[in-house]
Every structure is written in C-alpha cells, then in structure tokens.
C-alpha cells in the first residue's frame, strides 16, 4: 500500500525534538519557528508533558464518554481560570475542524436559524461544514457546497451589518487573526462593532481561536485584545502540544440538551492529561507573557529590517503569530531558510513567511532567526 499523495513534502525527517529545536537521525538540528502549524505550544518533549502523558497511558489511556472522567473537569477548571472564561462550559472533541462544526451546530440549535456569515479568505477547517465557511475553492468539493453561508469582506462592518439585519443568521464565525490567509489582522474596533451588531440582531458570535489562541498573541485568546466576549470560542492546535484535541467554550446563555453533541474519542483520558500538562507548564513558565515580550521584540526588529530592505513589504501579527510579506517567492525563501539556515518556517500564500514558534521561544533564538533571515532576504 502507498500513501495517498496529497502533501508536498520536504526531504527532511525530524525524529526527535527538544524545546524549540527538532533533530534528524544524523543529529542535525533545526530551529523550529513553525511548531507543526502552531501545535507545539510548550516546546518539543517538555519533560513535564512527557511524564504526564506516560503516567496516564500507564494507568488508563481511553474509556468512552458514557462514564465519568474527572480529568475533563480538571481541564475545564484550569482552562476557565487561565483564559478568564470560568462561567463558560466546555465540550471536548478531536480537532479544530470538529470544534468549528460543533460550534456552528450549537449556534443553529440555540437560535433556530440556518445561515452562517463568514469572511473572505477565512480558513476554518477541511471537514464538510468547516469547508463551507472557508473561502478557498481549492478545498471545496461539490459535496461541500451550501446556500446557507455568505462571505463578507474582512473589516467591512457596513456589509456585515447589511447582511445580519435580515436576522436569518445563526452565527458569525471569525478568526482571531486569519492565519492561513497570511496573518491578516482583525481591527479591534471592527471586532467590537461586530459584537454590537450580533447583539442587536440575535446572532451568535463564534471566535475561531484554533491558531490564534492558547497564548500565541500575548493574551490567552487573540480576541481579548479587543475586549469582546464571544458566545462560542473554538480551540485546538496548541491545546495539547501535539496530541489530537479540540475544544468548544460555550456561553452560559446556551443551554445543553442530552445528545445534541457527541464524540467517541473527544476528551479521552490521555488527551486530557496532555492538555492539563500544557496549561500547567504555560502557567508556571509564564509562557503567555513570554509570547507577548518575545513576539514584540521580533516584530520590532523585523520592522526595523523592513526599513533597510526593500524586499520586505509588510510585517503583520501579534505575539508569536507573525507574517512577513515579501516581494519575491516566499516558498523559495523558506527553502533556503530550511536547507541552508536550518530554520523551519511556515507559508501563507505566495509572498508570506509565517512564524508560529513554541511560546517559550527565547530572545537568543529570535536573534538567530533575525540574523539568518536578513542574510537571505538581502
């Protein structure tokens, strides 16, 4: 049997990792500033994380959601305290796409409405409902087509208001920062205005924080920079540092009904142990504050570099979620950074290099990237 060939692969195989570095079998080290699509939140092979997962799998790796699992409540308590959403409820699942599917389903149950408003260039996942609110025709098959989704330009409050005034929409879904689209920032005023029009029209606000959440932007969630409180928040990626997990945080105004949501693997014992370890490390090592400080340092230095280098068009981002737009081919630059500079970075379109490192990235490691990047971009 062969693998279904849908990925463009670099000819590199990391076999181990430590903090912000990964290593190949021959011992070559690579500074990881992509974290496997923003998944590695607390660093590779963090000893507390490794111990928590190993201890749990030695006791009980899985049982179904038909019985009590106190680890789920432990996770909910810690997540509520650290995120500031203690009054919200938590539904655990397996991925970001699944979290978004359940969020939209909840909104439809709660409002009795069927339509969803999303934004241009949004990315919310690859399963059927998540694809429907993703503005990317390359991943939408005929099966994914739906008449229940509309797209508005990101930042255009007039168009969003015009559509929502029909009172046909169960929810608006929006990313805290658009990641796949190239680190497109959401204006704080726009987010506040969107919250207001949702309140006026009885529309629920869903914040997709799958890539932008879990401390990445220097707040626990990116939307907290604007001061809004969504009705539903979706998480995944950094939640369990590589163990597959997703989560939906749900306002107390939305009431559960037995059987309305369900999952086989979601919130299993091993996943919860991993996610609890992540929150413990984030708190004890002050990783959200580090993301803010190191991210600010990186962004400031990159903006200074842009002033010296005409090839850099724009620096966008918050915390350790950074997009570097260049005039040339970003893919070619990323290959040079990887094969010559031994630095992993991410892509986001033809002209943007994306940085999504572990939240514990040090200033020294940031300086390694900055010096290497400037050498290659110049």
Q: What is the pLDDT of residue 303?
A: 98
Give the span between the Cα atoms of 335 and 351, in whole angstroms. Answer: 13
Give the span between the Cα atoms of 40 and 239, in whole angstroms. Answer: 9
Q: What percent of the chain has pLDDT over 90?
A: 96
Please compute the mean of the pLDDT values over residues 188-203 and round it to a whole number: 98
Nearest to 49 by CA among 11, 74, 18, 89: 18
Beta-bridge partners for 163: none
Joined tokens for residue 242:
């590589």
Does 145 have pLDDT greater than 90?
A: no
Give the span between the Cα atoms of 343 and 89, in whole angstroms. Answer: 39
Q: Where are the alpha helices (DSSP H) in 118-233?
A: 128-132, 157-164, 188-201
pLDDT confidence tier of residue 143, bands split at 50, 70 and 90? confident
Whether the predicted model's global pTM rises above the 0.85 cut: yes
For 316-335, what is each residue's pLDDT tens digit?
A: 999 999 999 999 999 999 99
Give the span between the Cα atoms of 331 and 333, in whole angstroms. Answer: 5
Q: Are 124 and 97 in contact (CB under 8 A)?
A: yes
For 91-114, what is each residue's pLDDT tens digit?
A: 999 999 999 999 999 999 999 999
Q: Are 266 and 72 in contact (CB under 8 A)?
A: no
């Amino acid at each position: 049997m062969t693998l279904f060939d849908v990925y463009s692969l670099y000819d590199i195989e990391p076999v181990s990792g430590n903090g912000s570095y990964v290593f190949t079998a021959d011992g070559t080290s690579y500074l990881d500033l992509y974290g496997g699509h923003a998944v590695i939140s607390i660093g590779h092979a963090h000893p507390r994380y490794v111990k928590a997962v190993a201890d749990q799998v030695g006791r009980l790796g899985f049982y179904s959601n038909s019985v009590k699992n106190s680890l789920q409540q432990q996770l909910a308590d810690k997540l509520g305290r650290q995120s500031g959403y203690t009054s919200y409820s938590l539904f655990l699942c397996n991925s970001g796409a699944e979290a978004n599917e359940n969020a939209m389903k909840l909104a439809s149950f709660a409002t009795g409405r069927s339509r969803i408003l999303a934004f241009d260039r949004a990315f919310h996942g690859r399963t059927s409902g998540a694809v429907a609110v993703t503005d990317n025709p390359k991943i939408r098959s005929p099966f994914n087509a739906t008449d229940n989704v509309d797209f508005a330009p990101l930042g255009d409050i007039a168009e969003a208001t015009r559509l929502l005034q029909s009172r046909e929409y169960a929810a608006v879904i929006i990313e805290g920062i658009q990641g796949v689209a190239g680190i497109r920032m959401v204006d704080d005023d726009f987010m506040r205005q969107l919250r207001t029009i949702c309140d006026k029209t009885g529309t629920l606000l869903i914040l997709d924080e799958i890539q932008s959440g879990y401390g990445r932007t220097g707040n626990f969630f990116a939307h907290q920079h604007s001061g809004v409180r969504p009705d539903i928040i979706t998480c995944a990626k950094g939640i369990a540092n590589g163990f597959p997990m997703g989560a939906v945080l749900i306002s107390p105004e939305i009431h559960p009904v037995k059987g309305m949501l369900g999952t086989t693997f979601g919130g299993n014992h091993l996943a919860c142990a991993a996610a609890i370890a992540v929150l413990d490390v984030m708190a004890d090592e002050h990783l959200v504050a580090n993301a803010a400080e190191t991210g600010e340092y990186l962004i400031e230095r990159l903006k200074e570099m842009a002033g010296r280098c005409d090839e850099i068009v724009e620096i966008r981002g918050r915390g350790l979620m950074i997009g570097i737009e260049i005039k040339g081919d970003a893919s070619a630059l990323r290959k040079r950074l990887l094969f010559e500079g031994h630095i992993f970075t991410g892509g986001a379109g033809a002209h943007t290099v994306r940085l999504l490192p572990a939240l514990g990235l040090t200033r020294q490691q940031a300086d390694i990237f900055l010096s290497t990047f400037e050498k290659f971009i110049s």
